[in-house]
Amino acid sequence: MIDRRTPSALTIAGSDSGGGAGVQADLKTFAAHGVHGLSAITALTAQNTRGVSSVHVPPVEFLRAQIDACYDDFNIGAVKIGMLANADVIDAVAAALEHYKPAVVILDPVMVATSGAALLDTSALAALRNRILPLASLVTPNIPEAQKLTGLAIGSAEDAVAAMVELHRLGARSVLLKGGHLEEGDYVIDRFSDGLSLRTFVHPRLPLRAHGTGCTLAAAIAARLCANEPIAAACEGAGNYVFDALRAGYSPGRSDITLLDHAGTISSNPANKKAGD
Domains and CATH numbers, the chain: 8-264 (3.40.1190.20)
pLDDT of residue 9: 98
pTM for this predicted structure: 0.93
pLDDT of residue 2: 67
Whether pLDDT at 188 is above 90: yes
Q: What percent of the chain has pLDDT over 70?
A: 92
pLDDT of residue 221: 98
pLDDT of residue 1: 62
Q: How confident is the model at residue 247 (pLDDT cuts 50, 70, 90)?
A: very high
Whether pLDDT at 266 is above 80: no
Phi-psi map region of 57: left, alpha, beta (phi>0 left; psi -120 to 50 alpha): beta
pLDDT of residue 264: 74
Phi then psi dihedrals of residue 44, to 5 deg: -105, 125
The rounded mean pLDDT for the chain is 92
Q: How far is CA 112 from the centre of its chain?
A: 13
Whether pLDDT at 78 is above 90: yes
Instruction: List the beta bridge partners of residue 105.
Output: 79
Identify which has the larger pLDDT, 275 or 213. Answer: 213
Identify which has the larger pLDDT, 211 or 23. Answer: 23
Q: How confident is the model at residue 116 (pLDDT cuts 50, 70, 90)?
A: low
Distance, in Å, from the CA atom of 176 to the CA atom of 198, rounded to the nearest integer, reads 10
pLDDT of residue 123: 81
Phi then psi dihedrals of residue 183, to 5 deg: -75, 110
